Amino acid sequence: MNTLTQTHSATIVQLTQGSQAWLDYRLTMRNASETAAVLGVSPWMTPYQLWLLKTGRSTTKVTPAMQHGTTLEPIARAAYEAQTGEIMQPLVLQNGRYSASLDGMDLEGQLIVEIKCPYQGQDSKLWREVNAGHVPDHYAAQVQHQLMVSGAGLAHLWVFDGSQGLLRPIEPINHAVQRILEGWEQFQGYLDSDIPPPLTDADTVQREDAGWTAAALAFSAAKQAADVADAAVAKARDELLALAVHPREQGSGVSVTRYWKAGNVDYKRVPELKGLDLNGYRGKSRVEVRVTADKGAGD
């Protein structure tokens, strides 16, 4: 069981970051590190991929860059404390349905720190951007979420290369918080309905390997031949329908039959269903596969 104690407007959740209990807890919460994906500004995760994760259809894979950051974090925090004179405590905070796993908060709860240890150190894009005074959108969204949950008045983004650090102060921004709240409410609809968000360009993986190329060319050629055959079938069918005048006619191995079929029910016109949320009667989402040939493919 999670032990909660009150601090400011948030509660401290007594969980060790990185533990299985912490991972299980995160699946139920709106987490700061996921906000960039919800808002569509994450370079690593799309809304669809986050939906897969939050619904248990996928799991998080620890990359070398992620492991590098985890290993360096205590060293980076110590370097930050030495430079600023602040004593920072890692905490998991919860405010309603929103959660933030903080790399550190001061004793007064007015300052938080978010530590980033880029794999390429000072050669990384992040180091260059922060050194130029810019905070990337995905990290800005994460920090604004942390400020919202914690109620702190200031955050420090601390970028550490293993020996040196860059510090960028970030203050709460009201319109950024509003965007976070609205984004999560919209995303919650996809979770509640078990219907995934629309795919984005970032969900598309470009394939150029030999196996894919051979199969794709074979599919395009077969689809083109099938389209020609379908057109011929449709033309012959129309000719048969024009010749058929009886309820059922047969000849040369082909039958034409006319029959009456009940129309589909227009559920939107049923008065008893007006205003009723039918999502509770919907079956679980399932994966369907559609294969299409791009226009011009095989020309």
Domains plus CATH for the chain? 4-201 (3.90.320.10), 211-281 (no CATH)
What is the token pair recorded at 91? 């905490």
* Cα 12 to chain centroid, rounded: 26
Does residue 5 carry a pLDDT above 50?
no
Tens digit of each residue's pLDDT (9 = 90 or more) over 64-121: 988 998 999 999 999 999 999 999 999 999 999 999 999 999 999 999 999 999 999 9
Does residue 296 carry a pLDDT above 80?
no
Q: How much is the average pLDDT of 147-151? A: 97
Q: Which of 87, 74, 86, 102 is nearest to 10 (CA)?
A: 102
pLDDT confidence of residue 252: 95
pLDDT confidence of residue 157: 98
Predicted confidence band of residue 25 (pLDDT cuts 50, 70, 90): very high
Q: What are phi and psi of 64, to 5 degrees?
A: -55, -35
Strands (DSSP E) contained in the chain are: 4-7, 10-13, 30-31, 89-95, 98-105, 111-116, 154-160, 165-170, 248-251, 254-257
Compute the distance between CA of residue 67 and CA of residue 81 in angstroms, rounded to an integer.
Answer: 22
- Any bridge partners for residue 31, and if so which? 99
Which residue would you say has higher pLDDT here, 266 or 179?
Answer: 179
Strand 89-95 and strand 165-170: the pairing is: unpaired
3-12, 102-111, 243-252, range with the lowest pLDDT? 3-12
Q: How much is the average pLDDT of 266-284? A: 82
Tens digit of each residue's pLDDT (9 = 90 or more) over 207-229: 999 999 999 999 999 999 999 99
What's the mean pLDDT when you consider all of the chain? Answer: 92
Q: How much is the average pLDDT of 251-278? A: 88
Does residue 3 carry a pLDDT above 50?
no
Does residue 2 carry a pLDDT above 60?
no
Predicted confidence band of residue 299 (pLDDT cuts 50, 70, 90): low
Percent of the chain with pLDDT over 90: 80
Compute the distance between CA of residue 188 and CA of residue 168 in angstroms, rounded to an integer.
Answer: 32
Predicted confidence band of residue 286 (pLDDT cuts 50, 70, 90): confident
Strand 30-31 and strand 98-105: the pairing is: parallel
The b/e string for 76-114 (b: 16+ C-beta within 10 A; e otherwise) is: bbebbeeebebebebbbbbbeebbbbbbbbbeebebbbb
pLDDT confidence of residue 213: 96
pLDDT confidence of residue 1: 35
Does residue 28 carry a pLDDT above 60?
yes
